[in-house]
Structure formats: structure tokens, C-alpha cells
Structure 1
């Protein structure tokens, strides 16, 4: 059985590492004033410039169910099963939207969605650990159980030069 590992673009891994670990991503939408685009198409440099020029922060919106349907259907053209790592349900609707789509008749039993309870590198660490289990040849059910058991033990930290670009 071919198992795909996926996540939202909030995984924040460089393209080289996404390719190395065979992790596919679905992008969030980024809005900066009148400009809207997909995460990755709008660069961090553009986001910083927008904030510096306007004093406002870019806004992101979770992947909507239609986008998940298209993404999952595309991934399942090359895989039998998907293990998807989602941005924390505590800060986004991404997990809820992905789970809703995973339970649709067309995808039932083909997708497991993991609520990482994390963001950025926390998602990356969990997805990379999953990829290693897949590469070891473990079965889907065992991989999902191991990944879910790891969620409360995954912690990610970061430091900032400035809090200018933080917003709650």
C-alpha cells in the first residue's frame, strides 16, 4: 500500500526538505490589503514589506473544504492512503475542514487527519517522523496510532528579534 504524507503549507519546510521527505502540502490563502494569493506564491519578503509599508499584518485563511477535496483527490491518484498533518485545531479551522472532507463518501477510509496541536516546525517534526514510519513499512493503523500518541509530546519553540510582526 502506498501511503502519502501531507500537511498544510504552515509546515514551513523548505521545498528541498519537502521533496526529500516526500511530503506534499496544500497552501493557505494569504491576504495583504487588496492582494490575495496562495502561501508560497506570496513570499515572506513581500509579507514583511507589506507590514513595513502599511503597518498592517497579512492575514491567512484556512484551506477550505473544496480546496481539500481537490488536493486529496490529486494525492490519491498516486497513493492508496493519506496521513495528513493539520495545523492545530486550537488556532485554525484547517483540521475541522480536512476532517470533514476525509469523512466524505469519496474519501472514507482513505485519509487520516492528525491534529498536530502545533504549528510550523512542530508540524514538520511530526510529519517527518511519520514519513520514517511509512518508509519502515509499517501499516497505516499502526502509523496513525504512533503519530497520535506523539502529538502531546511534540514541542516547538522559536525566538524573535522583534515582536513587530506578531498578532494575536
Structure 2
């Protein structure tokens, strides 16, 4: 018997880590104009950012279908137990489609153990939760304990974003164009987070790059406790040098147990825009 950990491609975590932990990733769909891609399958991250620069309109994303999840369930061994940890239901129908797949699967195999958890986050926040569950599975923990602790992790994981440009959130309709233009002219940076229900909320509006970075780093300490025992995950939107500098400053100040650096994939990268940064960690 094995425990299969399944997630979706909104996760931003190093691919080798996910492979080592035997995590299955179900791709979201990405539409550039009339061309549809399976994120992470038909289009890689460097190509995505290249196309994003060239495109006048933002690409559209859509959730994996229930059939996409069902196919992964059916590929598991008969004795496997399955845990799906999905992108926040406030941002996508991915969670609902995984639940529908569970119902369809139970019509065929009613005695199989399948649980679906709403992570209430995305990107590296989802990565922290998924990898903790996968490590528990590799360590031989019970399915029930993994589900229980994963649910606790979703309530205690903080994901924060710092947007360097407001261009993409304006294009995507998440910020009024007039207000966004004024904010951009004043060099305003948005500091955001995934809220308790998994939606996005603005924490602060800061003028200037250096001040925004300082505020971003300060918020880590305001929200986090006993950070030397925690993993911090940092993701960047095509700005690796900037992310590495942030990583050094955060680690120097807070001494996290481990730091994981990755590139934002299409889902979060589309709205973050060039130069966006993300930090995720377990608060307590």
C-alpha cells in the first residue's frame, strides 16, 4: 500500500523535489490567444515568460477537468490511498473538479480512500503544504495522520506577494485602470497575501522598491514565530537575482531551517508580472 499525493500545476516548487517525493502534478490549462497549452507539459516556464512579454493580452487559465483528476486516480495501484491538495477554491474551480473526480471514482471503486483538501493558497505556499504531506507519506505516517496534519497546515501557512509592476493586475481586471495608472506613476508597490479564506487581499501599499522590500521582510517577522524551525519558500516572476538577494536578507534576519527557491509558473506569474516576489512559510 502507498499513499499517492496529487496536486495541480499552480504549485511553484523545484521539479526535482516534487519528483523525489513522488508528487503527481495535474496541469492547469493555459490559453494564449487561440492556442491552448497544458501548463508545465506543453509549455515550459521560460517559454511562458517569453510569450507573456510578447502578448498584448494576458493569457487565460482554466482548472484541470474532473476527468483529468479521475485519470490520475485510475492510474494508481488498487491498494493506494489518494490525497489531493488543490489550489485555493477562491482562485479556481480546481478543488471543486477534484471533488467531482472523487465522486466519480467512488462510483467505480467505492471502498478506495480518497481525500481532497482546499489548500487556501497557491504557488510556493501550496508547495510547502504538499511537500510536508509527501514527506510524511515517505516516512510511513498513516493516511489519517497525513490528512489531519495537512488540514492544519493549510490554516497555518502564510503566502505573501510583492508586485513590482501593476501592469498585469490592471490588464487582468483586478485593479481599476485609472487607480492603477496613478499608483504606477507614483511607483507604488502592492504587498498582498492569501487571506484566511484563500482569496487575495492587499496588506500594504508602499512607495519605492527599497522601502517595499524592507516592509516585505518585516512582515515575515510580524506573522511568523519560531522561524528557525521552519521552511521558507521564495518564488520569483522571472527575476532570479532579485529573489536571491531577498532570500539572503530573509535568511540573515530570521535563520529559517531551510530555504527553497523557485520560479513562479504561469498561474501566479501571469498576475504577478515581471519582477514579482512571493514568500511562503508556516507561521507557528
TM-score, normalising length: structure 2: 0.55
CA RMSD of aligned residues (A): 1.8
C-alpha distance in structure 2 between counterparts of 1:142 and 1:71, whole Å:
23
Q: What's the counterpart of residue 60 of structure 1?
A: 61
The structure with the greater share of residues assigned to strand is 2
Q: What's the counterpart of residue 23 of structure 2?
A: 23
Contact 2:21 2:138 in 1 (8 A): no
How do residues 1-168 of structure 1 correspond to structure 2 at under 5 angstroms? Answer: 1-40=1-40, 41-74=42-75, 76-77=76-77, 80-104=80-104, 105-108=107-110, 109-166=112-169, 167=172, 168=174
Asked which structure has the greater RCO (Cα within 8 Å, sep 6+), the reply is: 1
Q: Relative to structure 1, is the Cα distance of residues 27 and 107 closer, same or farther in structure 2, using a 3 angstrom cutoff?
A: farther
Q: Unaligned stretches of 5+ in structure 2?
A: 175-284
**In the comparison of the two structures, how many residue pairs are matched?**
167
Q: Unaligned stretches of 5+ in structure 1?
A: none
C-alpha distance in structure 2 between counterparts of 1:120 and 1:134, whole Å:
21
TM-superposed deviation, 1:107: 4.7
Contact 1:30 1:36 in 2 (8 A): yes
State the secondary structure of the residue aligned to 1:55.
coil
State the Cα deviation string for residues 97-149 of structure 1 (Å, max 9, x = none).
10111122225433211100001111100011101211222211121011112
Q: Relative to structure 1, is the Cα distance of residues 102 and 161 closer, same or farther in structure 2, using a 3 angstrom cutoff?
A: same
